[in-house]
Structure 1
Amino acid sequence: MYPRTQALLNSLLQQQIVPGLSYALINGQTVMTKVQGDKQWFPEPERLQPGLLYDLASLTKVVGTATVVFELIAAGKCQLDDSVQQYLPAFKDHRVTLRHLLTHTSGIAGYIPHRNQLSAIDLQAALLALPVTATFERQMVYTDVGFLYLGWIVEAICQQPIQTVITERVLQPLRLFNTTFKPVASRCVPTTYQAGYLRQGQVHDPKAQILGMHCGSAGLFADLNDLVTFSQWYLGQRPDLPDLLSAEFRQSLLQDWTGHQLGRSLAWALRSAVDGHQLLFHTGFTGTFLLLDLQRQQGLIVLSNRVHPQQKNDRFLIAREAIVQSFIQELTD
C-alpha cells in the first residue's frame, strides 16, 4: 500500500530527520502498521518498540477537546455561535464565539511577559486578558489559545477539569485505554534532551506543563493502536464503538466553517484530494500528524519524536508536507 508514501516515511529515518517512526496506513478495512528506528538517541541510543506512547501535542485538540465540544453542541449544552463571554466572563470581547475558537479566526493574540514562569491561575488570567487583533474574522491564524479557551468553556459547562471530561467522555467510551494524560514514563517515547535532562512521560508543551488538567490544547499521550482505533471510529468503521458524533456531523466537517472562505473546518485543517474532495488533517508540534479521507475511507497516522534531541527541526516540516502530498496523490491510485 502507498509505496511512494512509505518510501518517504522510511527516508525520515535514513536521513536521520527523526530517531524513530510509528505509522499506520488505512485503506478501507485494511490496516498496515510499522514501528521502526530508535526510541531515542540521547543519553544512550535505544531501539523503538511497539506499544510505546507518544506525546501527541496538538492532536489533543482533535482527539480530545473538539470531540467533547462537538458532543456538547449535539446535546444542546452550547451552540456554535454562542459568545465566549457567556461562559468566560473574564474575557471582555463579546464578538468572539465558539465558532471563531474552533476555526482559529478569533484574532486573539498578544505577548505575555514571563509566560512560562507564571502559575496556572496567573497564566489563565493573562490568556483571558489577551486582546482581539485586526485579524478577527479576516485571517485563519493557528494558535493554542482558542483551544485553551474551549477547554475552560467545557469546564464551565461540565464543572470538571477538561482533561477529566475528555477521559470520561472520549477515551473511555472509545476504549482508548492506552491514551492518557498521566502516562508511566517508562512506556513513553522521549521528547527533548537538554542540559542532561531527558523529557519522558512529561508533556512537552510549556503551557500544558503549567495548566495541567486544565489544558485542552495539548497533554495527551497515546500509542499507535489507539490512534488507529480513533481514526477507524472517525471514518465510521467501528459500529462496535458508541456513536459519540453522528455520521452526518462528521461529514459536515468536510467544508469551510469560517463563514469567510478561509479554508478551515471546525478544529480540523482541510486538504484537497486530486478530485477536489476534502480530507481532514491535523498536526502536533512533537512530530505527530493525522490525515483522514472520510469519502474514500483511507487514512495516514504518523507518530514521531521530531523534537528529540532538540525541538528545532525544520527538515521534518519540509518532509512532512512531501509525505502528505504523496499520500493524497496515492489515494486515487
Structure 2
Amino acid sequence: MAYVETKAALKRLVAEKVVPGVSFALIDGDRVETGQYGVAAIVPHTEPLRPGMLYDVASLTKVVGTLSVVLQLLATGRLRLTDRVHDYLPEWQDKRVTVRHLLTHTSGITGYIPNRNQLDAPALTHALLHLHVGPTFGRKMVYADVNYIFLGWIVEQILGEPIQAAVQQRVLTPLGMTHSTFTPSDPAACIPTAVTVTRGLVRGEVHDPKGYVLQRRCGSAGLFSTIDDLIRFCQAYCHPETVPAVLPPRYVNQLTNDWTPDGRAGRSLGWALTATQWPQAHRVIWHSGFTGTYLVIDQAAQQAMVFLTNRVHPVAPNEPYLDQRNAVIGTYLAEKSRYANHDFS
C-alpha cells in the first residue's frame, strides 16, 4: 500500500507540533499497514512512542463498546429503538425521549450542572437524570455524552451489570481485543493525556471527567485500546457475518443509513456519516474521541483507518488540532479511493 499523502499529513501533525505523536493503521481488506511518528509524552520528560502502547480512546468507547452491546440487545429483541428512556430510568421524567434519540444524538438533552466535575457518582447521576430537553429534540443532531451515559444505564438495567463489564464480556473478549481494557494495570504502558490542576498528569486513568467519576457505569468514555485491537474491530465491522453474536449484521450492515427520527439529521446509530467516491459515491462511517482518536470505516470497500494520538497532552483542548484532523480525514478519503483494489506493496 502507499497512502503517500495521508502519511505525509500525519507526519506534518507531529512536525508542526500539533500533537506529540501518532499511531495509525491503514486497512485494505486483508492488507494492513501500521506506523507511528513522534513521541508518547513531552512532560514531565520526552518519552519514546513504543509499539503496542495503550491509548485512552475517549468517545470511541461509544461506538466500539456501548453501541455494540446495544445492537446486540436490539437484534435479540431485548431492547427496541422505540423504547422510552423513562421506562428504564424512571427518574428521567421526559417520556418523549427514546432509545433512537439517544443513539442518534437527537434527544435534545441539555442543561448546566454546577460544579459537575466535583460531584461524586451518586450526585452526578442524579444531576444528569434531571437535565431537560431543549428545542432541538427530534429534529437536530447535537452530540452529547449524556446520550451514551443513559444508554449505558439502560444496558445495566437489562443485563444487571455495569456497561463497562458488559462491553468487556460481550465485545472485547469475543473479538480477541485482548489488550483493550477499562482498567489498565500498568500506567507506563499507557499514553499520557493532559496535565490537570486537580489530578496532575493523567496516565492510565480515564481523562474524561464524567468517566472518571462514574467509572464502570460510564458508557461514553473510559476504554483504553491499541492499534492492533482496533484493527481487529475494524476488520470485524467489514465482515460482521463472521461474528454475528457480537456485531449483528442486520444492524451493522445498515449503519451507513441515516437513522435519525426524520431521516434527515445526518447521523447513524452511534456513528457520524461522511462520503467517499469509490466504487461509486457512497457513505462511510466515522467517529472521533476528544483525546485525539478516530476511526473511519468504509464497509463497502472494506477499507478503514485507525488514528490514535494524545492531542490533549499536555494541555487540553488544543482546538487547532480539529481542523487538522478533518483535513487528514479528507486526504485519506480521497486517497483511498485511488488505491482501492490496487496492490502497491
Which residue matches 1:92?
Answer: 93
How far apart are the structure 1 equivalents of 2:140 and 2:250? 27
Of residues 227, 233, 246 in structure 2, which corresponds to 1:224?
227
Matches within 5 A, 1:259-278: 259-260=261-262, 261-274=264-277, 275-278=280-283
Residue 319 of structure 1: aligned partner = 324
- What is the distance in 2 between the residues matched to 1:309 and 1:116? 19
User: Counterparts of 2:239 and 2:250 in 1: how far apart (Å)?
Assistant: 11
**Where does structure 2 lack aligned partners over 5 or more consecutive residues?**
339-345
**Could you say which residue in structure 2 is the equivalent of 1:61?**
62
In 2, the alpha carbon distance for the partners of 1:279 and 1:43 equals: 39
Match of 2:194 in 1: 192
Q: Does 1:280 align with 2:281?
A: no
In structure 1, what residue type is equivalent to 2:257? Q
- Establish whether residue 290 from structure 1 lines up as the match of residue 290 from structure 2: no
Secondary structure of 1:331 counterpart = helix
Contact 2:57–2:289 under 8 Å retained in 1? yes
Q: Which residues in structure 2 correspond to 1:162-173 (within 5 Å)?
A: 162-173=163-174
3-state DSSP of counterpart to 2:72: helix
Deviations for 1:45-76, whole angstroms, at most 9, x for unmatched residues? 01100010000000000000000000011111
Instruction: Indicate conservation of the 8 Å contact 1:144/1:217, yes or no.
Output: yes
Determine the C-alpha separation between the residues in 1 that align with 2:68 and 2:196. 34
**3-state secondary structure, aligned to 1:36:** strand
1:11-160 → structure 2 map (5 Å cutoff): 11-160=12-161
Aligned length, in residue pairs = 332
Superposition CA RMSD, Å: 1.3
What secondary structure sits across from 2:110 in the alignment?
Answer: coil
| 1:249 aligned onto 2:251 | yes
- Structure 1 segments of 4+ aligned residues over 6 angstroms from their partners: none
Identity of matched residues, % = 47
Q: TM-score scaled by structure 2?
A: 0.94
State the match for 1:236 in structure 2: 239
Which one is further off, 192-201 or 213-222? 192-201
1:213 aligns to what? Answer: 216
Letter of the 1:248 counterpart: R
Secondary structure of 1:252 counterpart: coil
| Cα distance in structure 1, aligned partners of 2:261 and 2:281 | 20
SS at match of 2:297: strand
Q: Per the alignment, in what secondary structure is the counterpart of residue 133 of structure 2? A: coil
| Residue pair 2:24, 2:35 contacting (<8 A) in 1 also | yes
Q: CA deviation at 1:37?
A: 1.1
**Displacement of 1:327:** 1.1
Q: Distance in 1 between matches of 2:99 and 2:241?
A: 29
2:190 is equivalent to residue 202 of structure 1: no
Distance 1:227 1:322 in 2: 22
Give the aligned partner of residue 312 of structure 2: 307
Q: Distance in 1 between matches of 2:337 and 2:162?
A: 43
Asked if structure 2 preserves the Cα contact closer than 8 Å seen for 1:12 and 1:319, the reply is yes
Counterpart of 2:341 in structure 1 is none
Q: Runs of 5+ in structure 1 lacking a partner?
A: none
After TM superposition, the structure 1 stretch with the greater mean CA deviation from structure 2, 315-324 or 269-278, is 269-278
The residue number in structure 2 matching 1:176 is: 177
| CA distance 1:86–1:71, shift in 2 (3 Å) | same
